[in-house]
Structure 1
Amino acid sequence: MNNILLKYMENRFQPKIIDPKKGFFGEGPVITISRECGCTAINVANMMAEKLTAKTGNRWTCITKEILEYSAKELNLAPGKIEYVFNSMEKTTWDEILGAFSNKYYQSDRKIKKTIADVVRGFACRGNCIIIGRGGVVLTQGIQRSFHIKLQAPLEWRAAQLQEIYQSSMKDMLSYANEIDKKREILRNYFNKKPLLDTTFDVVYNAKNLSDEMIAEASINLIEMKGVLGKQIVMG
């Protein structure tokens, strides 16, 4: 797999998967960004990673598709074989039976999701990373040095942003945004065991009214005040 970042992760994060029950609390620092479809998280994450690298002297990394690739590697499967999990699809009972008998590399839905959870926690515990989506906000709640961001905006505005990317009709983009939001919610709720509340996040931004730069800068200020990077400022 010719993915330079993935190879970097493999070298940096040995052993591959840690036991989240051992030393899970107090690790990090880690930042998670959840987003409604049409709110671009990667720009905010890249800005934050660059600023935090300069501020702390430690290299910060943005992680999203690497979770899929690394989880597949742990399971000895091609990434495409487990991608359906991120699309909130599940195998039927018949698929499970056929797969178990016909493929020596077969893995159940439960095993795949557990591996994904372990990989996310493994990256998070080792710190200096920004995890975009992938249930990160739920899976890293036990880490004290963590900060959780949610990007949201009115549906029509998000659909308009998607129109610029996909060159499709407003009707199609409204439908697409709703579909992706539901799929992301299903995955988060699976890991959380119940619907996720906005109070799970440290901060929720309206991406329509704030630029990526403003969100990145504001988040870093809050991260410092919360003590994620070091000494905490006690708020009155």
Structure 2
Amino acid sequence: MVQNILSNYSEVFRQQKLEGHISPGPVITISRECGCSAKRIATKLSKILTGYSYLSETKTDVEWRWISKEILEEASNELEMDPNHVKNVFLSERKVPLEEVTSAFSTEKVYDADDQKVIETVGTVIRSFAIAGHQIIVGRGGEILSQGITDRLAIRLEAPLDWRVNRIMQISSLSHSDARDYVIEIDRQRDLFVEHIAGRKVNNSDFDLIFNYSTMLDDHIVDAIVSVLKNRQII
């Protein structure tokens, strides 16, 4: 599965070189545990990095953007498939009752042929975005699918389970028990999907930065990311 995606990536990269885009990236990926707001970090980061591009020595006006649902929309277009079917492969993209989440995932996830086609297309779309550069990719195994790109920073947002459960309770009508079940199942769902893409369990070595979201403000996380990007001369 992942070999097919990497093969597709190589072809896209070759085409990009023919069109004059020699170096892929820069790209940032953000993985998160359920209850950690990657979108808030990505939104702030995209605005700040766009500002840096305006002030750079090259004076190149480049807009950084963060993408999430756009990946699924692009995949739907390429597959000429109902967007809802694509979203169904990524259960957390839909607002679903807790019982549907828990019934859809147990100890493993079995993907059918249509699912495999969706996953492969989504993977190719992610690689294409990563090659194009100046993208912040939220979720969907971006840390795996962007490996091999030099100007890449892979970020992980984590927090203690109890903290995340309480946060889900604050933004939903779920009880403590239901919120805990929901968080655990969504985490498991995401882990199983990325393991399916990678062909192995993902571990800390797949990320460049891991933040405890419960102890840091969004602005502090963004500042730390920008500092690392500067030090690594990605920006």
User: What is the 5 A alignment of 1:207-218?
Assistant: 207-218=213-224
Shift of the 84–53 alpha-carbon distance from structure 1 to 2, 3 Å rule, reads same
TM-score (norm 1): 0.79
The equivalences for 1:124-135 within 5 A come to 124-135=130-141
Task: Figure out how many residues of one structure are paired with residues of the other and give that number.
Answer: 199
Q: CA deviation at 1:21?
A: 5.2
Alignment partner of 1:52 out of 49, 52, 56: 49
Instruction: Return the letter of the residue paired with 1:211.
Output: L
Of 93, 111, 120 in structure 2, the residue corresponding to residue 114 of structure 1 is 120
Identity among equivalent pairs (%): 34
Shift of 1:184: 0.5
Query: Which residue among 182, 185, 188 is the counterpart of 1:182?
Result: 188
Runs of at least 4 residues off by over 6 Å: none
Distance between the aligned counterparts of 1:21 and 1:122, measured in 2? 8
Residue of structure 1 in register with 2:89 after alignment: 85
Is 1:149 matched up with 2:155?
yes
Letter in 2 for 1:41: A
1:158 aligns with 2:164: yes
The Cα shift of 1:132 comes to: 0.3
Is it true that 1:63 corresponds to 2:60 in the alignment?
Answer: no
Residue 25 to residue 192, structure 1, CA distance change in 2 (3 Å) = farther
Runs of at least 5 residues in structure 1 that lack an aligned partner in the other structure: 1-16, 97-107, 230-236
Are the counterparts in 1 of residues 46 and 64 from structure 2 also a CA contact under 8 Å?
yes
Alignment of 1:28 onto 2:52: no
For residues 28-74 of structure 1, give each alpha carbon's deviation from its aligned partner in whole angstroms, at most 9, with x where no partner exists.
Answer: 00000000000001111011000000011210111001111110110
TM-score by length of 2: 0.80
Greater percentage in helix: 2
User: Deviation of residue 25 (structure 1)?
Assistant: 8.7
Deviation at 1:143, TM superposition (A): 0.8
Q: Residues 154-206 of structure 1, C-alpha deviation per residue, up to 9 Å, x if partnerless?
A: 00000111111112211111110000001111111111110001111001000
Judge conservation of contact 2:13–2:131 (CA < 8 Å) in 1. no
How far off is 1:227 after superposition?
2.1
Report the equivalent of 1:75.
Answer: 79
Q: Give RMSD over aligned pairs.
A: 1.9
